[in-house]
A and B are shown apart, each in its own frame.
Chain A
Amino acid sequence: MGSRISAKRLTKELTELKTNGPPTGCTLIQADDLECWVVSLQVLGESVYEGEEFALRFKFSSSYPIDSPEVTFVNCPERGWKAPVHPHIYTNGHICASVLGSGWSPVLNVASLLLTFQSMLASCKKKELPPDNDRYVRTAPSNPKQTRFVYHDDDV
């Protein structure tokens, strides 16, 4: 039953993204299947990230959208992508944001997540790494959903 909902919903989300396009500043890079999508992202307007392009990787489990997707920033030197320097984003691309954990709701979708991360970057005043970056990156699981984050992002 789970995969039925997830396949159907992802198909519709993808159609929507393709016909009406993703939020401004975002481009669908890869969405060949219903398991893993890559979307590039730029921050609009004035911000500390002006002129930079990032990429987000979305991985969906069969229980999507009941369960949140696994979302990380991509580190890919060939395409010039690097995780943004931000107090809630680790250098391995993991994001500490409640919307991907306890704040997830099945009514949210890829488009709303893209908007969330755009505004998270836009509101950042100073490029700073998370204080525990080195320790976290050294021991982090490959799937950030296995990390129990203590969220500091009350604003997103």
Chain B
Amino acid sequence: MASENEIMTDISDDDYSDAFDPDEDMEAEFDDASSISDSGFSPIEPDSHSTGKDPKGKGKAVDSMLTLDNHPGASEKLKEEQKVAVAYVEEMLQLKSEQAAVLLRYFAWKKEKLVETYMDSPESTLAAAGIHENGAQPRLKRVRGFVCEVCYDEMAQETLALSCDHRFCKSCYAQYVTSKVVDEGESRRIQCMGSKCNVIVDEKTVELLVEEEVLERYRSLLNRTYVDDSTSLRWCPAPNCDYALKCHILPRQLDSIIPTVQCSCLHTFCFGCGDADHRPCCCPIVRRWLKKCADDSETSNWISANTKECTKCHSTIEKNGGCNHMTCKSCKWEFCWVCMGPWSEHGTAWYNCSRYEEKGGDAVNQDAQSKSRASLERYLHYYNRFANHEQSIKLEHELATRMEKKMEEMQEHSSLSWIEVQFLAKAVETLTKCRTVLKWTYAMAFYLAKNNHTAIFEDNQADLEQAVEGLSELLEKPLDEEKIAELRQQTTDKTVYVSKRCQILLDDTLRGYEEDRWHWAEAIKM
């Protein structure tokens, strides 16, 4: 992974480095992250054109990318952060460092809240967190005539009591802590074995009790809670990725900011909800949409069935590629998979496949039944397009494999080198990314109120839709050995164009959030 130092160096080479205020290095890092991708996509929501009216809202930056387990350096960094916080509380409240650590974990590392609550009422705060104020650090001790309440054993062996003075023998305590750590994955909430006693077994005490292996597991779990408890840290959700990302975003900001971040493992996801990149839809809309789709699953199952009938000869057709330009095998009729209209009407000013036209303006006279039918129809319109892109994205994995073959073929049949045929791989990558964006534009459009801004949004959407289909069609074409150079030129041009259309749509939509331009048909709550 890129260390922070590398990130910083990158920025100085970057074109827009001079645009930054030196004080805002957080933003600098964040914008650097957006420059990781060279396809015209910024994995981070572009904030560079922010008007800066709300300086607090600028915390969309990826401060740093941290890792645990695999990456000792970054794991140290997390530990270092914890140490600093512990030292701060220790000094401020004149506590022992172990007590400060237990308190901080109890308060999920919210220092300010901790200090404030503690100042109000030190005793009850300590008691709630499971700390006895004047308790000495527990030591192992032999006590004459002691009978352990857990094993009922009276053999003279080492015993241990926490500050609450509930004394048990060492082997029982060790077994208890080991079982908590190994079987339950517990770390910061391990309490005294006494009934209804909430005193916490702290790290130093755990050190006295368990074997090295368990201790290591305990420490790693404890370290994980630092990320789990923090609102500004999040584990990368990619499988087998151990990185944690930092981003300062408040839940209430999520209806206007889409904190998209890219991990060093290259997985791009939304920091707000942890889902894969869902720009330009904001989290609350995404959640609503997915819930709606799940609720209406019967209908969507029906609609997402993979076959349709040819509008001319009624042969059953299965869509097995990403392109919407269908040619019926039996009657050679060309039509659009999405609207089922004749293809000849597409690719011209006629192309309005992505836009839902409200039928019949005479809404007043419509009875309830036709209203609900219209609302279902409206939902299906958007769902159909959403699901269609999702399906195409899946199929594009196959496309990628086919393109690899095509690229090999090209190298055999022409003078093009490996690097020169990479335009195909690039095209597939761009296609997938743009389809993801397009997919979410339909979820967004479903909730947008009809107005001029929405019309512009839908124009952008239609432009991107058309560009994407154009590129997709180009890639589906069989390879003509004579025309490889031409194909390369066309594909490269189209790829750049598609990327550009996508960026335009994203930029405008995200700016729209900032300018409060989007109005939802229903009230959206976080």
Chain A interface residues toward B at CB < 8 A = 1-2, 5, 8-9, 12-13, 63, 65-67, 103, 105-108
B150→A107 contact, CB < 8 A: yes
B196→A5 contact, CB < 8 A: no
- Cβ contact of A106, chosen from B150, B153, B183, B196, cutoff 8 A: B150
| Chain B residues positioned under 8 Å from A66 (CB to CB) | 150, 172, 175-176, 179
B152 interface contact, C-beta 8 A = yes
In the complex, residue of chain A having the shortest beta-carbon distance to the beta carbon of B197: A105
Shortest distance from the beta carbon of A128 to any chain B beta carbon, whole Å: 27
B175→A1 contact, CB < 8 A: yes
Chain B interface residues toward A at CB < 8 A = 149-153, 166, 168, 171-172, 175-176, 179, 183, 193-197
Complex Cα gap A65–B152 (Å): 11
What's the dominant secondary structure at chain A's contact region?
Answer: loop
- Cβ contact of B150, chosen from A1, A2, A9, A103, cutoff 8 A: A9
B195→A2 contact, CB < 8 A: no
B179→A63 contact, CB < 8 A: yes
B152→A1 contact, CB < 8 A: no
B196→A103 contact, CB < 8 A: yes
Complex Cα gap A66–B166 (Å): 15
Shortest distance from the beta carbon of B269 to any chain A beta carbon, whole Å: 29
| Chain A residues positioned under 8 Å from B166 (CB to CB) | 107
> Ordered nearest first, which 8 A-B pairs have the shortest CB separation?
A105-B195, A106-B150, A107-B149, A12-B152, A106-B193, A5-B151, A66-B176, A66-B179
**Which of the listed residues A2, A12, A13, A107 has the most CB atoms from chain B within 10 Å of its own CB?**
A107
With A5-B172, A105-B196 given, is the CB distance from A67 to B151 under 8 Å?
A: no
B152→A8 contact, CB < 8 A: yes
| Chain B residues positioned under 8 Å from A5 (CB to CB) | 150-151, 171-172, 175
| Chain A residues positioned under 8 Å from B194 (CB to CB) | 105, 107
B193→A105 contact, CB < 8 A: yes
Shortest distance from the beta carbon of B314 to any chain A beta carbon, whole Å: 46
Known: A105-B194, A105-B197, A106-B176. 17 other contacts (CB 8 A): A5-B151, A5-B171, A8-B151, A8-B153, A9-B150, A9-B151, A63-B175, A63-B183, A65-B150, A66-B175, A67-B179, A103-B195, A105-B195, A105-B196, A106-B168, A106-B193, A107-B193
| Chain B residues positioned under 8 Å from A1 (CB to CB) | 171, 175
In the complex, residue of chain B having the shortest beta-carbon distance to the beta carbon of A15: B152
| Chain B residues positioned under 8 Å from A2 (CB to CB) | 175
Complex Cα gap A108–B150 (Å): 8
In the complex, residue of chain A having the shortest beta-carbon distance to the beta carbon of B152: A12
Complex Cα gap A15–B194 (Å): 23
List, sorted by A's number, 20 A–B pairs whose CB atoms are closer than 8 Å.
A1-B171, A1-B175, A5-B151, A5-B171, A8-B153, A63-B175, A63-B179, A63-B183, A65-B150, A66-B150, A66-B172, A66-B179, A103-B195, A105-B193, A105-B195, A106-B149, A106-B193, A107-B149, A107-B193, A108-B195
In the complex, residue of chain A having the shortest beta-carbon distance to the beta carbon of B176: A66
In the complex, residue of chain B having the shortest beta-carbon distance to the beta carbon of A103: B196
In the complex, residue of chain A having the shortest beta-carbon distance to the beta carbon of B169: A5
B151→A107 contact, CB < 8 A: no
Shortest distance from the beta carbon of B155 to any chain A beta carbon, whole Å: 11
| Chain B residues positioned under 8 Å from A108 (CB to CB) | 195
Complex Cα gap A65–B195 (Å): 12
Shortest distance from the beta carbon of B42 to any chain A beta carbon, whole Å: 42
| Chain B residues positioned under 8 Å from A65 (CB to CB) | 150
In the complex, residue of chain B having the shortest beta-carbon distance to the beta carbon of A104: B195
| Chain A residues positioned under 8 Å from B152 (CB to CB) | 8-9, 12-13
Complex Cα gap A107–B150 (Å): 5
